[in-house]
Amino acid sequence: MRKLDNLYRQIIMDHYKNPRNKGIPDDDRYRKEHIRNPSCGDDVTIATLVEEGTVKDIRQDGTGCSICCASASVLSELLEGKTVADALRVSENYVDMIMGKPFDEAIAFEDALAFEGVKDFPARLKCATIAWKAFDATVKDGENDE
Amino acid sequence: MRKLDNLYRQIIMDHYKNPRNKGIPDDDRYRKEHIRNPSCGDDVTIATLVEEGTVKDIRQDGTGCSICCASASVLSELLEGKTVADALRVSENYVDMIMGKPFDEAIAFEDALAFEGVKDFPARLKCATIAWKAFDATVKDGENDE
Amino acid sequence: MDLSRLRDDFPLLKRKHIRYFDTAATSLTPRPVVARMKDYYENLSANVHRGVYTLSHEATEQYEAARATIARFINAFPEECVFTRGASGALNMVALGLAEKIAEGDEIVVSELEHHSNFLPWLHLAKKRRAKLVFVPLTDEGRITTENFASVLTERTKIVALTHVSNVLGYTTPVEEITRLAREKEAYVVIDAAQSVPHIPVDVKRIGCDFLVFSSHKALGPTGLGVLYGKKERLEEMDPIEYGGDMVDLAEKDHATWQDPPIKFETGTPPIAEVLGFAEAVRYMERIGRAEIKRHGENLRAHTMEKLRAMEGVTIHNESTEGSLISFNIDGVHPHDAVTILDSEGFALRAGHHCAQPLMAWLSVPATLRASFYIYNTISECDGLVEAVGRARDYFLSP
Amino acid sequence: MDLSRLRDDFPLLKRKHIRYFDTAATSLTPRPVVARMKDYYENLSANVHRGVYTLSHEATEQYEAARATIARFINAFPEECVFTRGASGALNMVALGLAEKIAEGDEIVVSELEHHSNFLPWLHLAKKRRAKLVFVPLTDEGRITTENFASVLTERTKIVALTHVSNVLGYTTPVEEITRLAREKEAYVVIDAAQSVPHIPVDVKRIGCDFLVFSSHKALGPTGLGVLYGKKERLEEMDPIEYGGDMVDLAEKDHATWQDPPIKFETGTPPIAEVLGFAEAVRYMERIGRAEIKRHGENLRAHTMEKLRAMEGVTIHNESTEGSLISFNIDGVHPHDAVTILDSEGFALRAGHHCAQPLMAWLSVPATLRASFYIYNTISECDGLVEAVGRARDYFLSP
Ligand SMILES: Cc1ncc(COP(=O)(O)O)c(C=O)c1O
Ligand SMILES: Cc1ncc(COP(=O)(O)O)c(C=O)c1O
C-alpha cells in the first residue's frame, strides 16, 4: 500500500473533500477553459482572472475523481498571485514531475508536491494534469474560450 | 508427374484443342445457361434442346482453362440422346466422382472418366464441374434463362 | 466439465497474478485460438478466394469452413454471416445498408440501454433522413420489456435496434417477442448481440431478427473481427455497402455486378487469421458447453452479488440481473479512485461510462464500476474482489 | 544484410518446400510479428482507450506507440493514421467521406490500372452523385504518366484516385507530380499504396497527397488491418464515417460530439493485436532497410525477366517494369492450367485477373500469370521458376 499511500496522500484527500476556490464566477473578465476526459468522466473548468500580467484569481469547478478534483483545487491556490510567466513555468514543471521527467526541484510546489506519487500510476496521469492543461489554456489563449 | 498426367489426360487435351459441339445456336428452342467463375475467368454457356423428355442436342461455348473447356465438350457428346432423367443422373454421379465421393461405377462415363484425376486437384474442382452445373440448369429450370 | 483446468489455457491469469473481471470489454484469448492463428501464419499464410494454387485453395477452404462453424453457432446459414471489423463496424454497415429505406418521419426504435455503437449510427441515420429516434421506456430497474416496447411501436416504425444483453446491467431483452411484434409492422429488427453471444445460447432463427451483430474479441476470439448476421432475403435485397475486390463479379469501366452474399459484403482481403481463430474460439465454447458457460457466469455473479449486497457503502445498479456482470459504485468514492485501489491488488475491472452515456444519465451517475464474470473466473477470485472492494471503501471513507 | 538468413523467420518456406511468388496478394508473416501478437494475447489481452486499470492502460500505450511507429514509416503524424479493415476498407471510407463534396458533373479521375478496390468505390460514388468517371489514358506500355494525367485534368476534377504501384504491371505512378497538378485545381488526391508500401520508400509529405491507403498483410503484417493516412486538415474537416463507441466524445439522447482524429474514425474496439503486429512488421522492414528491400525485389525481377524474355512461347506484359513482379502468359496455355503445373512443383503464383478486370480488358487477355518477388525469395528459386515455366509450356504444347 506504500505506493497507494503516496498517491492518495492526506493533502490530496483534504483538497478533494474540501475544495478551494470552487465555483465559476459569472464574470466576463475571467478567461474560462472547460476540459473533459470522456473516457472516465473527469470534467474540469478553470476560470482565471489576469490583470497586468499577474494571475489575480483562479476559480475552479467540475466533477471527477479525487486526483482530478484535488489537483484543480491545489492549482487554484498555488498559482494565484504569480505572474503569468511564473505560473506557466510552475505548471510546466508540475506536468514534468507527474510524467516522471526531470523538473526544476527549486520550485516551491507546496501542496502540489503531493501529486508526485501519481507518476507511478500511468493510468492516472491524465487525471492529475487535466486541470493544469485547462489553466494553461486560460492564460495562453488570445481569445476567451466561452 | 503421375498425378498431373492423370489430370491432363490425352482425352482432355484432345477435347480442349478440338472442342465438340461448339457455338450457341440462335434458336429459342434451346434452353441456355451461362456461368462464369469471375475469380479465374472460366466462362461457359450450355444450350440444350429437349424434346419429349429427351436431350436432342447440346451446344456449348465459352473460354477458360483446358479442364473447363474440355469438360463442356465432353459433356455435350456424352449427354446427347439421353433422357433428361438419365442425363441428370449421369451429371450427378459425375460431380460426385470429381468431388471424390462415392458414385455409381456402372455408369458409362466414356470420355468423362478422364476427369477422375481432377479430384486430386481441389483448386480445380470448379473448373471440371462448371459446365455440368450449367447443363443441369438448362434442363431443371422451368424458365428459359436468357 | 472441470473449469478450473481450463485456466491453464489463459496464460495471463498465471503470469501477472491478475484477477481479470473485464470480459465484458474484451475476453481473454485461450491458447488454442492463438495457436490456430500462429498455425495459419506459419503453415498457410495465403490469401483466399483468388488463388488457384494449393495454399490459396486451402486457405479458402479453411476460411469458408470457419464461416460455417461460426454460422452454426448462432444457427445461421454460412451465407448469412458476413465478416466485419467488429460489432461496431457491423452495426454501421446495417445502418448504411438500411439508409435508403428510411424516409422523413419514419421511426427508429432504440433504447437508453444501448452501447454507443448501437445508438450513434441510428442517431446519425435519423438526423440524415429526418427520421425520429424513439426510445423504449425502461422499467424502474432499467429493463426493456415487451410491453414497453409495444407502447412505442407504431405504423411508422421502420427499424428496431436493441441490445440483446446490456453491457452495463446484464439484462436480457425479450428479443423474440419484440421481433415478432416488430415484424408484424414490417420493421427491420437489428439485435446487438455483442454481450449475449459470449454468454448465452443465441439462435437467430428462433429470434427471427433481420440482423444480428457480435464481436469475436468478446467471445474468446481475436481482435479485428466481427460478424454481421443478415437473414438471407435481407442480404440478397440489400445493395453492397463497400465496393472493390472480391465482392465484384464482373467489372467493366462503366458497370459492375456483384457476387452473392456473403461475399457481396466482404470487399478486399478478409481478416483470414482472425476468422480461423474465432472458429477455434467457437469450438472452445462448444466444448465447454454454452449452458455451462452461462451457468458458471451467473453463479459467480450471484455469489458476488450476495456478498456485495450485504456490504455497507456499496450501491448496486443491477441487483435483479440475470446476467454475468455487476455494475456498482462505492458510495462517495469516484469509480476511478476505486479502480486504482483494486488494480493495485491485481483486480482488473472497469470504471467508466462503458460506452453507454445515455444510460449513465438515466442512472444519474457519471460512471460505474463493472465486474464481469466468465469461464476462467473462480469463486475465490470473486471473494477476493469483494474483500478488495471493502478495503477500497475503507481506504477512502475511514476518517 | 544477409537476406538468406532471414528465410528462417518464415517457417512456411521450410515446412512445405514452397517457392512463394505471391507476395503481391499477401506477404508471408515473419516469426517476430506472430510472436508479438501472441505476446499481446498471452500477456496483455486488454481493451484500449477505455480502462483505467494497468493492463488496459498498457494496451492503450502500446497501441498508440504502434501507431506512431507505423506513421513514421510513411512520414506521417500519428494522428494522421486511421486504422481500418484493410486497404479496401480504407478506400471505401475515403469515398464515403468525400461523397458530400461531389456534385453533378464533377469529375473523378481514375485509371484502368486500378485494383477493383480503388475503382469500384469511385464508380459507385460517380453514379450516386452523377459525377463523371474519367480515365487517365495509359501509354502503350500501360503506364500512367504526368502528361497523360494532365490531359484529363480539368476545372471540374474533384478527386484523383490512382495507384502508386500497379499490382499487375509493377509500374510506379509519378504521384508527386500528379499530386502537384491536381492540388493546383484543388482536387483531392487519393493514392492506393497497397503495392508500394511493402516495396519502396513512401513519404506522404513528399507526395503531398490528401489520402493514402495500404494493407498490413501485404507488408509482412497480419490480416485484418489497413491504414488510412489522411492529411491533418482533411481528417479534421471530414465528418465521421462510422459512429459508435470510442469515436464519440459526448453522447446525449439527441446529440453527440466527436473525438479528434484519428479516433474520430475508429469506432469500436480496434484491431489491437493486428496493430501491434504490424508495428513489429514495420520494424522488421526497417531493420532490413527499405532500399535493400527494393533492391532485392527488383534484382530478382530483373534476373527472372531476362530469362523469361529469352524463352520462346512466353508473352510478358510488363517488360519495362521497374517493380518487383512479372505478369506473363504462356502462349496457348490458359493461366489456370499453367499454374496447376507450377503448383504441383511447389511454385505458388497467381493466375487470374488480379482484381483488375479493366486492365485485363486493356491487355486483351482473360487472365495472366503473376510472379511477385520479395525479400525471402532467392535467385535460385527464380531460376527454378523459369525452368518450371519451360516445363509447363512443353507439357501442354509438345505434340
Ligand atoms: C493495388 C491494390 N490496391 C488495393 C488492394 C486491396 O487490398 P486489401 O485486399 O488488403 O483490401 C490490393 C490488394 O489486393 C492491391 O494490390
Ligand atoms: C453491447 C455492445 N455492443 C457493441 C459493442 C461494440 O463492440 P466492438 O467494440 O467490438 O465493436 C460492445 C462492446 O464494447 C458492447 O458491449
CATH architecture of the domain formed by C33-286:
3-Layer(aba) Sandwich (3.40)
Q: How far is D354 from chain B (nearest CA, A)?
A: 8
Chains touching D by CB (3 or more pairs below 8 Å):
A, B, C
DSSP secondary structure letters along C85-113? SSHHHHHHHHHHHHGGG--TT-EEEEETT
Beta strands in D233-283, from DSSP E residues, in sequence order: 248-252, 255-258
**D353 CA from centroid of ligand 1 (Å):** 13
Q: How far is B121 from chain D (nearest CA, A)?
A: 8
Whole-complex ipTM: 0.93
Mean of the pLDDT values across residues B109-133? 91
Mean of the pLDDT values across residues C293-321? 97
Q: Assess contact for B123 and D340: CB atoms under 8 A.
A: yes
pLDDT of residue D243: 97
Cis peptide before D174 (omega within 30 of 0): no
Mean of the pLDDT values across residues C337-345? 92
Q: Kindly state the percentage of chain A with pLDDT values over 90.
A: 73
Q: Residue C141 pLDDT > 60, yes or no?
A: yes
Can you give the residue ranges of every domain in chain D? 33-286, 289-397
Residue B146 lies in a domain: no
pLDDT of residue C200: 98
Q: How far is D330 from chain C (nearest CA, A)?
A: 16
Q: What angle do CA D202, D203, D208 make, to 5 degrees?
A: 125
pLDDT of residue A127: 92
**Residue C249 DSSP one-character state:** E
pLDDT of residue A9: 80
Kindly list the residues of chain D whose beta carbon comes within 8 Å of any beta carbon in chain A.
49-54, 56-58, 61, 248-250, 259
Q: Which of D81, D209, D355, D382 is catalytic?
A: D355
Q: Assess contact for C176 and C396: CB atoms under 8 A.
A: no
Q: Which of C48-62, C238-252, D329-343 has the lowest mean pLDDT?
A: C48-62
The size of chain D, in residues, is 399
Query: Residue B120's domain is classified under what CATH number?
Result: 3.90.1010.10
Whole-prediction pTM: 0.95
Catalytic annotation on D355?
A: yes
User: By C-alpha distance, which of A39, C328, C389, C347 is closest to D55?
Assistant: C347
Q: Which residues, listed in sequence order, are joined to residue A46 by a DSSP beta bridge?
A: A33, A60
Q: Kindly state the percentage of chain C with pLDDT values over 70.
A: 99
Q: Residue B6 pLDDT > 80, yes or no?
A: no
**Could you give the C-alpha distances from D16 to B50, C50, D122, D344, in angstroms and in order?**
50, 20, 40, 12
pLDDT band at C280 (very low <50, low <70, confident <90, very high): very high
Residue from D215, D278, D353, D368 to probe ligand 1 pocket by mutation (most atoms less than 8 Å from CB):
D215
Closest ligand 2 atom, residue C218 Cα: 10
Closest ligand 1 atom, residue D90 Cα: 11
Task: Show pLDDT as tens, one digit a residue, over chain D (399 residues).
Answer: 577 789 999 999 987 689 999 999 999 999 999 999 999 999 998 888 777 788 998 999 999 999 999 999 999 999 999 999 999 999 999 999 999 999 999 999 999 999 999 999 999 999 999 999 999 999 999 999 999 999 999 999 999 999 999 999 999 999 999 999 999 999 999 999 999 999 999 999 999 999 999 999 999 999 999 999 999 999 999 999 999 999 998 899 999 999 999 999 999 999 999 999 999 999 999 999 999 999 999 999 999 999 999 999 999 999 999 999 999 999 999 999 999 999 999 999 999 999 999 999 999 998 999 999 999 999 999 999 999 999 999 988 876
Residues with CB under 6 A from ligand 2: C 86-88, 115, 117-118, 163, 167, 192, 194-195, 215, 217, 226, 355; D 245, 268-269
**Secondary structure, 3-state, C26-52:** CCCCCHHHHHHHHHHHHHCCCCCCCCC
Highest mean pLDDT among B4-18, C12-26, D302-316, D332-346: D302-316
Angle between helices A66-78 and C335-344 in degrees, nearest 10: 110
Q: What is the b/e burial string over D141-174, where b = at least 16 CB atoms within 10 angstroms of the residue's CB?
A: ebbbbbebbeeebeeebbbbbbbbbbbbbbbbbb
User: By C-alpha distance, which of C375, C171, C378 is closest to C289?
Assistant: C375
C227 vs C46, which has greater pLDDT? C227
pLDDT band at A141 (very low <50, low <70, confident <90, very high): low
Mean of the pLDDT values across residues B75-99? 96
User: By C-alpha distance, which of D232, C38, D52 is closest to A64?
Assistant: D52
pLDDT of residue D14: 86
Check D396 against B123: CB less than 8 A apart: no
Q: Is C292 helix (H, G, I), strand (E, B) or coil?
A: helix
- Which of 3.30.465.10, 3.40.50.720, 3.40.50.300, 3.90.1150.10 is the CATH number of C289-397? 3.90.1150.10
Residues 68-107 of B with CB under 8 A from C: none
Residues with CB under 6 A from ligand 1: C 245, 268-269; D 86-88, 115, 117-118, 163, 167, 192, 194-195, 215, 217, 226, 355
Mean of the pLDDT values across residues B132-141? 92
Q: By alpha-carbon position, which residue is closest to atom 14 of ligand 1? A: D25
**D190 CA from centroid of ligand 1 (Å):** 14
Residue A50 lies in a domain: yes
Distance of CA A12 to the CA centre of its chain: 12
Residue A120 lies in a domain: yes
Check A65 against C336: CB less than 8 A apart: yes
Q: Which residues, listed in sequence order, are joined to residue B34 by a DSSP beta bridge?
A: B45
Q: Which domain holds residue A111?
A: 2-139
pLDDT band at B145 (very low <50, low <70, confident <90, very high): very low
Check B64 against D353: CB less than 8 A apart: no
Q: Assess contact for B131 and B75: CB atoms under 8 A.
A: yes
Q: Which of B117-126, C185-194, C375-384, D173-182 has the lowest mean pLDDT?
A: B117-126
Residue B145 lies in a domain: no
Task: Read off φ and ψ for residue A28, nearest 5 degrees.
Answer: -70, -15
Q: How far is D121 from chain A (nearest CA, A)?
A: 34
pLDDT band at A36 (very low <50, low <70, confident <90, very high): confident
Angle between helices D290-309 and D272-288 in degrees, nearest 10: 80
Mutate to test the interface with D, among A35, A39, A63, A99 (most CBs of D within 10 A): A39
**Residue C333 DSSP one-character state:** S
Question: How many structural domains are present in chain B?
Answer: 1
pLDDT tens, position by position, B52-77: 999 999 999 999 999 999 999 999 99
Q: Is A111 helix (H, G, I), strand (E, B) or coil?
A: helix
pLDDT of residue A7: 77
Count B/D contacts: CB-CB distance under 8 Å.
46
Q: Which residues, listed in sequence order, are joined to residue C42 by a DSSP beta bridge?
A: none
Q: Residue B134 pLDDT > 90, yes or no?
A: yes
**Could you give the C-alpha distances from A121 to A37, A69, C92, C289, in angstroms and in order?**
17, 17, 36, 40
Stretch (H or E) spanning C20 = strand C19-20
User: By C-alpha distance, which of C387, A53, C242 is closest to D85?
Assistant: C242
